């Protein structure tokens, strides 16, 4: 064996020498046995490695513990194989589709033949998985030829794996074995199963093979695992809380939005209270944008096919989107717009531009349409028609950093106002080893990437850098937010684009009297109104900030004879821009209080004989109970003060 030494470079830039063939586990152990016990995977030269896989050349390395997404992905992918082994033992003859890790946990698509699995069967599968995990089974990788791989699954009669193998290139195929189970898989995997200490199979669903409705429906089993039982317990508590906060459930309770089969799947209907909530969000952002020099524009919901061919969106969305709209004129085709940016480019071109006009900031709450598969639709978070809080900034290259910082300021102000405190900013850069897949000059890319990095540093953002995650047209900054129960959401994105100015031949005349291409910044602090409202509902549990909530006050007359006084109070509040309604039902005051508190109304005002005599109201605050008696003018002042504090710019 070749015993030459190789150089291993660590994230801090330090370099150590190791023997040829050293494994990530051995490297971790050389630093600290405790580290080796906690490491679950490694990134070697930007590729995720098994801990037991040999390194045979100089390389950079990053070791991943549970906190890293790479470790979780490896842990959960290995768990899908562990579940597959348990299933194969419990259901002989079962056939396997794919079993990837997902954002939280994993799933495996299986063909059970004439058998079936119900929710009541999941416990015995979990128990078998834990038994197998305790056997400390190694995950053993084996490179295999395409012919041998095909023969293996042909003899087994597993048509799904054969279907996968036929698309693979010879020399790139590997099998992994743990215990009695062998699977077609590129990896990576854990060193062994012993670190899997807690298992929960969460649900069963149907899934067409390869997502094609023409193929057979397979059984998809979802699960999640953890290295500690305590982590699973905490996760299950979070799941229960998430069910209570589910925006579909809360949205129905609060009468915010609905869906209709007649209107069409994935096309939300905003009910009056939901429309009021959304309108306030839009007005809030419009006021912020006005202060930052944005100009409002409006564009149609459709555009000629040629517009999207020019922009490149037809190539990207055309096949899987809504089909072209044909007009009575032969050969004329329109598309429902999948993006607003091509329209904004055409607005830019309506007149000659000078360097003195830069930056030009165009903003629109523009509705776009994309045909998501029916199985992927989910409440407001995945829809077919949605409104983006879209803006496009056309600027000179020397203005890029300053404009980027101003957009970050807007995003941070929104997060502060809506109480999103825990977030990171992901900086997505191009792959320096594969620059040919990106458009634009090296010089422009370097300037743009440096501008984003420096802007994030100047604003003191907690950042992660993802090399190779840039869009083909430019680098970007995405804001990843943790909600009140610890789930991560992507809210807000800022992207630099050299592509569309090139495609649309956008120009401005510079100070040198020559023609130049502007740089384009795409920005959407909310992302889409639909998804943002869904996240906001789940973050707050439907208890919105006072300035935003559709129904701020409900007045509760103790009996019918106090309805007239309640109406006077309601009229006074509404005239002072406080959203108030009256519950005039002939019910007990206790029942009215209980039912309106379930609707998350911030303030309940009780009026009866004492309040009429004193010209006052008795105030109850959501979650705080009785706040005492006060005159209506003082209540208005209290509300106005609280709202001003919540959205003070």
Active site residues: 341, 370, 388, 390, 392, 476, 522
Other C-beta atoms closer than 10 Å to the C-beta of 421 total 10
| Helix 69-90 with 122-133: angle, nearest 10 deg | 110
The answer for residues whose C-beta is within 8 angstroms of residue 346's C-beta and 6 or more apart is 307, 504
Task: Answer for the pair 542, 513: CB distance below 8 angstroms, yes or no.
Answer: no
Q: Which phi-psi region, left, alpha or beta, contains residue 170 (left: φ > 0; alpha: ψ -120 to 50)?
A: beta
Question: How many of the other CB atoms lie within 10 Å of CB of 431?
Answer: 14
E strand or H helix that includes residue 26: helix 24-31
Beta-strand relationship, 580-582 and 553-557:
parallel
- CA 175 vs CA 47, 110, 152, 153, 335: distances in Å: 18, 18, 11, 11, 45
Contact 99, 107 (CB under 8 A): yes
Of 431, 434, 406, nearest in space to 494 by CA: 406
In sequence order, the β-bridge partners of residue 109 are 220
How far CA 543 is from CA of 62, 270, 292, 537, in Å, comes to 42, 18, 30, 8
Residue 600 φ/ψ, nearest 5 degrees: 60, 30
Q: Cβ of 350: how many Cβ atoms within 10 Å?
A: 7
Peptide bond into 188 cis (omega under 30): yes
| Cβ-Cβ contacts under 8 Å for 595 (sequence gap 6 or more) | none
């Amino acid at each position: 064996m070749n015993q030459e030494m190789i150089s291993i470079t660590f994230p801090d830039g330090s370099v150590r020498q190791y023997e040829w063939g050293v494994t990530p586990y051995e490297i971790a152990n050389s630093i600290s046995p405790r580290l080796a016990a906690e490491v679950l995977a490694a990134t070697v030269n930007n590729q995720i490695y098994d801990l037991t896989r040999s390194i045979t050349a100089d390389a950079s390395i990053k070791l991943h513990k549970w906190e890293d997404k790479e470790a979780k992905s490896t842990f959960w992918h290995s768990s899908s194989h562990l579940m597959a082994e348990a299933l194969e033992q419990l259901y002989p003859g079962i056939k396997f589709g794919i079993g990837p890790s997902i954002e939280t946990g994993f799933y495996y698509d299986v063909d059970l033949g004439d058998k079936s699995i119900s929710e009541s069967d999941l416990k015995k599968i979990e128990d078998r998985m834990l038994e197998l995990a305790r056997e400390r089974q190694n995950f053993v990788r084996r490179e295999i030829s395409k012919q041998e791989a095909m023969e293996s699954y042909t003899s087994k009669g597993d048509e799904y794996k054969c279907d996968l193998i036929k698309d693979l290139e010879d020399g790139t195929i590997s099998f992994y074995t743990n215990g009695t189970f062998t699977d077609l898989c590129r990896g990576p995997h854990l060193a062994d199963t012993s670190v899997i200490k807690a298992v929960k199979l969460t649900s069963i669903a149907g899934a067409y093979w390869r997502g094609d409705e023409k193929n057979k429906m397979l059984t998809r089993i979802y699960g999640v695992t953890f290295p500690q039982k305590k982590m699973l317990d905490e996760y299950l508590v979070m799941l229960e809380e998430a069910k209570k906060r589910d925006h579909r459930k809360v949205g129905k309770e609060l009468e915010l939005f609905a869906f209709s089969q007649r209107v069409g799947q994935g096309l939300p209907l905003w009910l009056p209270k939901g429309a009021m909530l959304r309108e306030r969000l839009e007005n809030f952002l419009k006021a912020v944008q006005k202060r930052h020099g944005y100009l409002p524009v409006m564009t149609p919901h459709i555009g000629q096919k040629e517009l999207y061919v020019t922009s490149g969106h037809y190539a990207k969305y055309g096949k899987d989107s809504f089909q072209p709209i044909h007009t009575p004129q032969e050969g004329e085709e329109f598309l429902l717009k999948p993006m607003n940016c091509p329209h904004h480019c055409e607005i830019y071109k309506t007149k000659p531009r000078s360097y003195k006009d830069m930056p030009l900031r165009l903003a629109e709450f523009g509705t776009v349409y994309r045909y998501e598969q029916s199985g992927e639709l989910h409440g407001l978070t995945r829809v077919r028609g949605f409104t983006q809080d879209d803006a496009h900034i056309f600027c000179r290259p020397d203005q890029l950093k300053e404009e980027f910082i101003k957009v970050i300021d807007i995003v941070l102000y929104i997060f502060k106002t809506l109480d999103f405190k825990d977030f990171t900013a992901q900086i997505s850069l191009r792959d320096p080893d594969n620059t040919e897949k990106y458009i634009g000059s090296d010089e422009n890319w370097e300037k743009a990437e440096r501008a984003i990095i420096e802007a994030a540093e100047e604003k003191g953002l907690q950042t992660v850098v993802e090399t190779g995650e840039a869009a083909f047209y430019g680098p970007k900054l995405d804001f990843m937010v943790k909600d009140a129960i610890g789930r991560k959401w992507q809210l807000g994105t800022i992207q630099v684009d050299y592509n569309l100015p090139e495609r649309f031949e956008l120009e401005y005349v510079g100070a040198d009297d020559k023609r130049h291409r502007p740089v384009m910044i795409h920005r959407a602090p909310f992302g889409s109104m639909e998804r943002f409202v869904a996240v906001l509902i789940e973050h707050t549990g439907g208890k919105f900030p006072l300035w935003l909530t559709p129904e701020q006050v409900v007045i509760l007359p103790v009996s019918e004879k106090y309805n007239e006084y309640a109406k006077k109070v309601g009229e006074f509040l509404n005239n002072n821009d406080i959203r108030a309604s009256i519950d005039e039902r002939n019910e007990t005051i206790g029942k009215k209080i209980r039912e309106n508190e379930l609707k998350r109304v911030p303030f309940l005002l009780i009026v009866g004989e004492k309040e009429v005599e004193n010209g006052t109201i008795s105030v109850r605050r959501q979650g705080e109970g009785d706040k005492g008696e006060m005159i209506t003018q003082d209540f208005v002042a209290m509300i106005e003060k609280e709202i001003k504090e919540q959205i003070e710019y």
